Amino acid sequence: MQEIEKIYKEYYSVVYKYLMCLTQNVDIAEELTQETFYKMIRKIDTYSGNAKISVWLCEIAKNIWFDELRKKKRRIRVIEEDVDMPSEENIEENYLVKEEVSETFQNIETLDEDTKRVIYLRLNSELSFKEIGKVLGKSETWSRVTFYRGKQKLKECDENGKEM
């Protein structure tokens, strides 16, 4: 039990910052951070130790966030079916922005595991390349190059308008 408390204290801020970047909402990030640690407690026996615990926790957090997005999408469809939504420009713009973000995350998910981890740790957890290298057991240069190459693949995908 003390080990779980230690993990919670040590990694709470990393998971929270990661979720804050994903959600852009303090309340949701806090709630999902709590849910992440709850799920960690339930699944601690499945942790193989192959990845750093921070990476494992961020994977759990990401999956919880994607589950939340899917639930939200289903609720929105139900609401749209029940209510005629006004066709305002900013609703359309918000939708397009959310679709772009969703598409970007879908494209990130098509990248290899190392590249995904580097991108998530860099963008969402705001870790330096040196910190990312340390978390993943690699060098700072490796982290930089992996991030750059992943970014290039995402740009190519965006420019071509197709998935990788």
Q: Indicate whether 151 belongs to any domain.
A: no
**Tens-place pLDDT, residues 6-39:** 888 999 999 998 888 888 888 888 999 999 999 9
- What's the structural domain count of the chain? 1
User: What is the predicted pLDDT for the residue at 164?
Assistant: 44
The CA distance from 109 to 157, in Å, is 12
CATH number at residue 31: 1.10.1740.10
The number of angstroms, rounded, from the C-alpha of 41 to the middle of its chain's C-alpha atoms is 20
Q: Indicate whether 81 belongs to any domain.
A: yes
The CA distance from 115 to 138, in Å, is 12
Q: Indicate whether 17 belongs to any domain.
A: yes
DSSP 112: -
User: What is the predicted pLDDT for the residue at 109?
Assistant: 82
**In terms of residue numbers, what domain contains 8?**
1-85
Smallest Cα–Cα separation from 36: which of 4, 64, 9, 73?
A: 64
Q: Indicate whether 45 belongs to any domain.
A: yes
Q: Indicate whether 119 belongs to any domain.
A: no
**Tens-place pLDDT, residues 69-117:** 887 776 555 545 554 555 555 666 666 667 777 777 788 888 898 898 8
Q: Indicate whether 104 belongs to any domain.
A: no
Q: Indicate whether 124 belongs to any domain.
A: no
**Both tokens assigned to 136:** 């993943």
- C-alpha angle with apex 111: 139 to 128, nearest 5 degrees? 35
Q: Indicate whether 50 belongs to any domain.
A: yes
Going 91 to 92 to 98 to 102, the CA torsion angle's sign is positive
